[in-house]
Structures are given as C-alpha cells and as structure tokens.
Structure 1
Amino acid sequence: MDSTRTTRSTLRSRRTWSAVGLAAVTALALAGCSDDRSATDSGDAAQSSTASPPPDLAAGQVAPDGATSDVVSGLEAPWSVVPVGDDGDAFVSERDSARVLELRADGSTREVGTVAGVRHGGEGGLLGLALHDDDLFVYSTAEDGNRIQRYELTGDTGSWRLGDATTVIDGLPANTFHDGGRIAFGPDGMLYASVGDAGNRSEAQDRDSLAGKILRMTPDGAVPDDNPFDGSPVWSLGHRNVQGMGWAADGTMFAAEFGENRWDELNVVEPGKDYGWPEVEGTGGEDRGFVDPVQQWSTDEASPSGLTVIGDTVFVANLKGESVRGVPVSDPSTATEYFAGDFGRIRTVLPGPDDTLWFVTNNTDGRGDPRDGDDRIVSVPLTTGS
C-alpha cells in the first residue's frame, strides 16, 4: 500500500510536461518496436532538416528554429504519444501490435503492456492515449466497436506496467476507416474523444448516434451536467474524421478534420455546434446553420491528423501533405508550413521538453514509403516571438 502511494506521487510530480499543462493536447501519436531498444544502437540512419521562423513572427507566436534531431527511430506504425514528466520520457502506442511502450529520454524503449482484445485492420487498432490522475486512458478498436479504457499504472520510471483495465465507454462506431481515435483531457478536466463517422455518413448529423462526433465525458464516462444535449456525451456533431484536438490558453478548442475529396479543415469547436458533414465539406455552410472551418486545405496537401497548441500557435501534423503547419491562434486563417516532404507522412505533434516541438512520422503504416530508420520521433527547437 505504501509503495503504491509513493509511485502515484512520483507520477504526479512528473506531470509538469503534460499536454494539458502546456495548454496543448494531444491528441498526439506514435509507437515503438522493441523492448529496451535504443536509437543510438539500432543502426538506423539519422535524418535531419532545418527550420527557420517566419521573419514576421508576432509576439507570443511560436515557431521551429534550428536543426532537427531524432528522439528515437525504428518505430512501427506509431499513433499516439503522451509525455510522462519533464525529462523526455513518454508513453507510445503501436497501432497494429496494440503495444504500449515506455520511451526514455535516451531513446530506449520497453514494453509497458499490450492492450487486450484489439482488432487491427485498416485505420483501426490501438490509437489514442491520454494520462489523467495516474491512469492511462486508451482508445482502441475491439470486435464490437471502438472503446475507451482506463488502465491503472503500476511501477515507476523504467518499470511502468499496465494494471487493471476499466471500460469508460464502448460500442463506439468502428470500421476499417474513419475511426477518429484521439482522446485528450481539456482544461476543464473532462475527457474529450473524437469518433469518426465510420463510413456511415448520415449518422454524423444524427444526435442519437455517436458517429461523426466529438464527445465530452467525466473521467469515469458519465455525461457532465453542462453538456449541450441532456444525457448525451455529444459535444459537437457533423464531423467526418477528427484526429487532432487542442486548447489555447484562453480555452478556445481547435480540431483538425479529414475531408473527403475536396477540403480538410481546421475548426474552432464550440458546444452543441454542427460542423456540416456530410451536407457540406469546407466552407459554405453558414447560411444553412453549420459552422465553417477557420481554415481549409485541399485534401492533396493536408490530411491533418495530430494537433497541439504551444503558446499562441496551433501546430498541425499532415499525413498526405507531409508537413507540420503552424497556425496563429489570433489569426487561424493563416499558416506557415515546415519540413514539407522532408520526413514523409507526419501523424502527430506535441510539446517536447526544453522548449522543443516533437513530431512523429507514419511511413510504416501501410500508406507511406518507409525510409531508412522509419518510423521516428523528431525533435526541433522552438523560438517565441517578442
């Protein structure tokens, strides 16, 4: 009993690098491939690029500034990552193997555990991770649909293990595509989850269906009293496939969303609002009662997945667009593109330790062209405008 209390206290004290504490989410995404495997002894080739901030970087805006370096390489279909403490340690999910890995600051990885009952196929599998109150929350695809589970963590740095699992919510719409999968705790302490339309387009407009929605729940899965629809976990509707969520310091919620054939979207999410899918894709829905995106990109240049907010900048990872975009919170209709084509598909972004940005490649997921050393987590220094 005493050792358990000590472990939990240690984990709490190391949360200073949490996505919520930095007004960011995660949403965020990656995985590892072997126990106790270090990037420095894997033989994988290093890959690097250099970024420069825009010359007109405004006060409070954040931008990559300098050369990249690999945090770890040789990962397989990484999807989500959540930091543990402020020293560069993190938990990582592998989509296809259903393993959760512990990543150490030295680039080594070890298996924390395997999530039981995960059905891998297409875009489904082990997806989002989130940390809250010393428990690891996991979004995954099972035989009877997508689900969110809460795992008690045991052990400590270098020896974390998955303990008992409790189901938070299950039976969420699932398919081999459009599974959503991002989970994050907002600044209000509530659990947010993105659920894709799972190919059932019309259900995104049905308030009684959880397909094509962003959900908001208590950590135990109960419906908060101040949700927009009585007795429903639905926070917003009319989404096709949201895979990135994050909050600015003033509480503004941003979400990145995959379009179909024309427009991918960056939305400001408000409770009870309808974002138009499948009636409208991109802008042009306001006169029909839908909320227009604050920015849209052609599907050929984006496929936005993970999202995080650092300072006054929203960073968005792009899969098909193979880049990281920086979007000012104060003017989310504009963007600066970084690393275009340098690292292939990018699944997620998150704040790293010591004023860095981490981003995660996704070239081994069956849709990319793996390069020597893929997949990898990459770090780049950040600078803030003054």
Structure 2
Amino acid sequence: MKSFATLLLLGSLSASAVAQQGPVLATYPVGSTTVSASALTGNLDTPWELLWGPDNFLWMTERAGRISRIDPNTGQLIPLLTVADVTETGESGLLGMVLHPDFATSPYVYIVYNYTDAGTLKEKLVRYTYSATANTLSSPTVLLGNITAVTTHSGSRLLILPDRTLLMTTGDAQQRSDAQTPASLNGKILRMNLDGTVPANNPIPGSLMYSLGHRNPQGLTQAPSGRIYSSEHGENIEDEVNLIDVNRNYGWPSVEGFCNLTTEQPFCAANNVREPLVSYTPTLAVSGLTYYNHPAIPQWNNSLLMLSLKAGTFTQLQLNSAGDQVAGQNNLWVGTYGRLRAICVSPQGRVYVGTSNRDNRGTPAATDDRILVLENRAYVPAAVKNGVSSLLQLSPNPATQSVAVRLPAVVRTPTTIQLRDVLGRTTRTVQLAAGQQEVSVNLNGLQSGLYMVQTQLGDTRYTRRLVVE
C-alpha cells in the first residue's frame, strides 16, 4: 500500500511540474529566457480572481457569480458554485477570493461580492466551506457585510498574512471623503481575524482599519520578506503602486500620487502620507498584482508582475534588494490581449493571466475571456531532474507530533517548506527566516500516511519522504 502511495505522489508531482502545453500564441524574450504564451481555457465571463490552490488546481471567480476550479494540465473547468445573490452591474459583482492557508484541515474559501439589500447595492465578505468529495461550496457565513457600494469603486482583493489575519481592500464607493474617515469601511485596507473579528493589535482599538486614503485598490500581494504591495486606480492621473505600511495614509482624495504639488504638501506633512513607489499618468487602470521569485524565469526574480485594464499591459516591476523601491520597469506587451485583471503564479514558476474583455468595456474576441499561461518551456525543475534529495534531513522519520526539517545550508532569503499528502495537496506550510537552517513542523491533526516535504534553495528543489504515524 505504501509503495502504491509513493508512486501516486511522485506521479502527481511530475504531472504538476510538466503540465500539458498548448499551442504557442507568442514568444517574448526576457533577457536570455524565452517566455511562451499559450491559452489554457477560454469562453469565460469576466474572470476577476485567479489563485493557485493547494490541490494544484487554479481557483477562479467570474464577476457574474461563478466560482470554479481549473485543471492546469487540461484546462477543464469544474464549477463549484454560482453565488445566488451576487449583483453584477457596472463594475460590481463577484470580486476577490482567498483560500485558508491550512486548507487541508480548515477548507474555507473567502469571497467578496456586491449584493442588493432592500434596493440598495452593498458589499460583503463571506466564508464558504469546501468539500473535495462533493466538489461543492456550502455553509456561507457572512463575516463582514453592509459595506457601502455603488456600481464602481468596490475594490476588492483579499490576502491572508502569515499571522492568520486577513487583509481586504475597499474602494471609496464614490464617497470621496469616506477614504479619510476612519469610521468608514470604504477607501481602506481592512485587517481582521479569519472569523471576521477585529485583531487586538490593529491601529485603532475596535476598528478594522489597517490603512486609509485609498481610491480603488485592485491588486494586493505580499513578498516573502513580509512587505505588502497594492495597485490602485487613480482618477484621471496617477495610478499608483503602493508599499502598504500599517496605519499610513495614502492621500486620496486630497493627494493624487506623489506629494509634489504645493496644494498637497501641507496635507502630506500633517497626515503621515506615504507616497507611491511609482505612479502612471495617463492612467492605465492597474489591476492584478503578484510577486515573482522563481528560477524558471530568473530575470523576474524579486519582481512585482502587474496587469492593467485600460492599457492592457503586462508590466514587470523590478524591486531593489530591500523591496522598498522599484528599480526598473519593463512591459512584456501592451494591448495584445485586451483588458487584463487576474494573475497568479504556480509553484512551477508559470504565470496565469485572466483577460477581462467581456466586462462591457472591452472588445471580446471569439475565444474571450480566457486564461493565458506564461512559461519558460525550456525549464525543467530540479525535482524532476534530481528526484528525492537525501540532503534534506528529517528527524524523526517516521514521526508523530512534529518533525525537525534541516536544510543543506543556511537560507539567505526567507524560504517556504511545504508538506504535501499523496494527492499533492499542501497540508502544512512553514516559513524559515534568513539565517535559519532548521525548523520544526507541527504534525498534529494529520492523518497517518506518506507525505513529501519540499523546499527550494536557489534553482534546486529538495524533496524527502516523511511517514506520519
């Protein structure tokens, strides 16, 4: 039985590392690397969020209310739920989504969407429970509701931090002054516990506010360093990419972009305004944002990858080593695939992009909307080349309550260790800080059986079998 489980797991790892490749739509030189673009699936309706799930599937929301899983090997779309009370009008509808980081034991899916209450458009955050057996989402629990909304400026991206708190971006809902009103939920980045309650260490006791002065932030991501970045729509000028600091003011509506006008500078000085890393005039309608650091496309290491709607750009923003400045920018393309909104990165270094040409502002082609795959087809992961590595030490093995994982060298940058079950699902994720070489992984709550411990140092991926008793 254990031999069968081992073969099943190794087959799953190989399949996820070497996915089926569709016809190449275009190639792009990125330094010495050739990045190929292909289409994974099409005939979608305004994809809003793309996530890489712990089941090695893509998870997607579409603005009309559908939540689906997509097989990255075949492009097969597997619907989970169409949320009944979603109101899709203008820019409103089903928006952001995030999965609980301990998905194997807490299979929760968090979504944000617009709905109608007594004839008035509003916004809410709802948690669903996923059943892998039934392939369903059920038991909706409203964590935060009754948020002011109109048909534009709803935000809303979700991000779960390592401390198991959740960030949620909200737009100003065209109520400009609310962005500067701490008591309002609009024009903010909110921070809450995963049950919707207010963390005790939020800036204002009893308040969900994490930062304020936002117009319409539609991208949100975190680097392994812990730094948080957001992309935000400007009005007629100054789209922004921001480094998000707790309890900082981002200026809207008194400040657009940098504090470079004499009319803006007194407000900036008096209100602890943090200027953006970069801004764009004319506006691009910046949207999806993710962090990239993978040997598949080494020229993008330590970069933000950002999409835009109006300009249809795919932009690489190279960060400096500290992550607090943008050192350079490059557009992979401009306008080639129309409007773009959703983006995520797989553990194999592939980038998935969702077009948004059916949002009533684009010009859809016959295949729109669709998911594009960007990849270096010449890249072969070290796990495929080298297989299981004895350089990753586990003690004890077999283990019961915990296992000590020792890497072959001290890590120079924050590194993730993952524990995967025989179906390739991530059951534990542990972070090593720079300067560490060993960490303990808690095994409580795991079923007995065979698991794989994985991590990556540079361009080498280390994998070791672990038996949990």
Using the size of structure 1 for normalisation, the TM-score is: 0.81
Alignment of 1:52 with 2:29, yes or no, is yes
Name the CA distance, whole Å, in 1 between partners of 2:332 and 2:162: 28
The aligned residue for residue 190 of structure 2 is 215
Cα shift at 1:86: 6.1
Alignment of 1:154 with 2:137, yes or no, is no
Q: What is the one-letter code of the residue matched to 2:310?
A: K
Name the CA distance, whole Å, in 2 between partners of 1:126 and 1:173: 15
Please point out which of 168, 188, 191 is paired with 2:143. Answer: 168
CA contact (8 A) 2:47 2:342 kept: no
Distance change (3 Å), C-alpha of 1:113 and 1:295: same
Alignment of 1:365 with 2:334, yes or no, is no
Alignment of 1:291 with 2:269, yes or no, is no
Name the CA distance, whole Å, in 1 between partners of 2:94 and 2:169: 14
Name the CA distance, whole Å, in 1 between partners of 2:24 and 2:90: 28
Q: What is the one-letter code of the residue matched to 2:254?
A: E
Between the two structures, name the one with larger relative contact order (CA 8 Å, sep ≥ 6): 1
The aligned residue for residue 70 of structure 2 is 103
Q: What is the one-letter code of the residue matched to 1:241?
A: N
CA contact (8 A) 2:49 2:343 kept: no
Distance change (3 Å), C-alpha of 1:372 and 1:353: farther
CA contact (8 A) 2:319 2:328 kept: no
Q: What is the one-letter code of the residue matched to 2:309?
A: L
The aligned residue for residue 308 of structure 1 is 290
Name the CA distance, whole Å, in 1 between partners of 2:31 and 2:175: 41
The aligned residue for residue 110 of structure 2 is 137
Structure 2 counterpart SS, 1:228: coil
The aligned residue for residue 6 of structure 1 is none
Please point out which of 26, 44, 48 is paired with 1:79. Answer: 48
Please point out which of 203, 208, 212 is paired with 1:228. Answer: 203
Name the CA distance, whole Å, in 2 between partners of 1:192 and 1:154: 25
Name the CA distance, whole Å, in 2 between partners of 1:148 and 1:187: 20
Name the CA distance, whole Å, in 1 between partners of 2:90 and 2:306: 22
Q: What is the one-letter code of the residue matched to 1:264?
A: D
Name the CA distance, whole Å, in 2 between partners of 1:291 and 1:338: 29
Question: Larger Cα Rg: Structure 1 or Structure 2?
Answer: 2
Name the CA distance, whole Å, in 2 between partners of 1:336 and 1:188: 33
Cα shift at 1:49: 2.1
The aligned residue for residue 266 of structure 1 is 241
RMSD (Å) for aligned C-alpha atoms: 2.4
Q: What is the one-letter code of the residue matched to 2:111?
A: V
Name the CA distance, whole Å, in 2 between partners of 1:220 and 1:172: 17
Name the CA distance, whole Å, in 1 between partners of 2:309 and 2:168: 20
Structure 2: 5+ residue stretches without partners:
1-8, 101-105, 260-264, 294-301, 382-457, 460-469
The aligned residue for residue 375 of structure 1 is 369
Q: What is the one-letter code of the residue matched to 1:100?
A: I
The aligned residue for residue 29 of structure 1 is none
- Most deviating of 345-354 and 284-293: 284-293
Q: What is the one-letter code of the residue matched to 1:171?
A: N
The aligned residue for residue 116 of structure 1 is 84
Structure 2 counterpart SS, 1:335: strand
The aligned residue for residue 323 of structure 1 is 313
Cα shift at 1:352: 2.6
CA contact (8 A) 1:227 1:235 kept: yes
- Most deviating of 160-169 and 181-190: 181-190
Name the CA distance, whole Å, in 1 between partners of 2:41 and 2:214: 33
Name the CA distance, whole Å, in 2 between partners of 1:376 and 1:314: 22
Cα shift at 1:109: 0.9
Q: Which runs of 4+ in 1 moved over 3 A?
A: 285-289, 382-386
Please point out which of 83, 93, 104 is paired with 2:61. Answer: 93
Matched residues, number? 334
Structure 2 counterpart SS, 1:202: helix
Name the CA distance, whole Å, in 2 between partners of 1:85 and 1:162: 16
Cα shift at 1:85: 3.0
Distance change (3 Å), C-alpha of 1:316 and 1:246: same
Q: What is the one-letter code of the residue matched to 2:109?
A: L
Q: Deviations over 1:236-264 (max 9, x none)?
A: 00000001111111111100000000110
Name the CA distance, whole Å, in 1 between partners of 2:319 and 2:373: 22
Structure 1: 5+ residue stretches without partners:
1-9, 18-38, 41-45, 56-63
CA contact (8 A) 1:294 1:333 kept: no
The aligned residue for residue 222 of structure 2 is 247
Name the CA distance, whole Å, in 1 between partners of 2:365 and 2:346: 23
Cα shift at 1:349: 1.4
The aligned residue for residue 348 of structure 1 is 342
Structure 1 counterpart SS, 2:30: coil
Using the size of structure 2 for normalisation, the TM-score is: 0.67
